[in-house]
Amino acid sequence: MIFRGLLKKLKGKEQSKEDFYIKVLLWAHDKQESGFTWDEIKKHFALDNLQESWIRKIFLTTSDTDRKLFEHLRNDETVTPNAHYYSLNEKGITAAINYKGLQHAEKSSERALWFASLSIFLTAIGLFFAIKQTNLTEIQSTSERINQARGVQSAIEFCKQNPGAQDSGLYEISSGKSAPCDQVIRNYSEERSLWDNIRSRF
């Protein structure tokens, strides 16, 4: 438990330093044309001695053989003592641009993931309603077949009582005319099932 606690603290410190590094880098990138004095960076980030020492070590170039991210830009001789201005060199600018590009890529990835999730959600909703509609259609189709069977049964009963009638109430699909009772009785003989007759004749 003690080891895990120490490891968590170390990770927290590393994360804090990384965040601080990014803040300083992006702040300097915003001031790359005008530059900034050391007093400005100390004031902006309210640096204590340890933080200032860390920034000097990580960012400030002190020799041509050890170029880091900050380099001397110009002197302001209108003030006393002279104010030294610094700015990001090409390494610092590249680091800032790469970080901003990474941020943009992450945001684009998150946006793409969000749209993909939304698309999946809408597809699922569409599929749900399609299934519901299919079930409803099947129910309606079954109801229509039942009504059709009842109509055929009624016509058969009518024709048995009135075999000579010319209007049975059943209409042939081929002609659209009402079938005579003798044809209905002939078509719906006991040799075939009622459903087979319905499918083949009407």
Tell me the per-residue pLDDT of 176-186, one tens digit each, with 9 for 90 and over. Answer: 677 787 777 77
**Does residue 131 share a domain with residue 188?**
yes
**Does residue 134 share a domain with residue 56?**
no
In terms of Cβ atoms closer than 10 Å to its own Cβ (0-12, 13-18, 19+), residue 2 is exposed
Number of Cβ within 10 Å of residue 48's Cβ equals: 10
pTM equals 0.44
Q: Does 108 have pLDDT greater than 60? A: yes
Query: Is residue 67, in this structure, part of any structural domain at all?
Result: yes
pLDDT category of residue 9 using cuts at 50, 70 and 90: very low
**Does residue 81 share a domain with residue 112?**
no
pLDDT category of residue 20 using cuts at 50, 70 and 90: confident
61, 70 Cβ separation under 8 angstroms? yes
Q: Does 15 have pLDDT greater than 80? A: no
**Does residue 66 share a domain with residue 30?**
yes
**Does residue 181 share a domain with residue 108?**
yes
Q: Does 66 have pLDDT greater than 60? A: yes
Which residue range(s) make up the domain with 139? 101-201
